[in-house]
Amino acid sequence: MRKSNYRYWTLQVLVLGTANLLLLALTRIPQPEPETVTVKGTAVDAGSMTPLRGVEVAWKSRKVISDIRGRYEIQLPAGTREVSFKAPNRPVIKKLLILKQGGT
């Protein structure tokens, strides 16, 4: 009986060991970088339409600040992205963007 328990344990370790090796091999395959899309725009006041400088345009850890003319440019990976616009003394605005590869 002890001998059969030993065989079962060895088989289980081999299966787990093989699964772990396969998992390690899969995690080491380099993933291609998603294509980036350039998003350009001008931040303006909704009422007066005057450009707003200093607006933070962000997605996750990627952030840019609009210039004196309210212009900004940020590189984002293609796909659906929720971008936030944060200006001092104003509420944060979030917009859902669908960015396609090869587009601007």
Higher pLDDT, 53 or 13: 53
pLDDT in tens, 28-73: 556 666 789 999 999 999 899 999 999 999 999 999 999 999 999 9
| Domains of the chain: total | 2
| Virtual torsion, Cα 21, 23, 26, 28, nearest 10 deg | -70
Q: Provide mean pLDDT across the span 68-92.
A: 95
Q: Are residues 5 and 49 in the same domain?
A: no
Q: Are residues 43 and 93 in the same domain?
A: yes
Which strand ranges, in their side-by-side order, compose the sheet holding 79-86? 62-65, 56-59, 79-86, 93-99
pTM of the model: 0.66
The answer to whether residue 11 scores a pLDDT higher than 50 is: no
- Is there a domain that residue 8 lies in? yes
Domain that holds residue 43: 36-99
Q: Provide mean pLDDT across the span 85-93.
A: 94
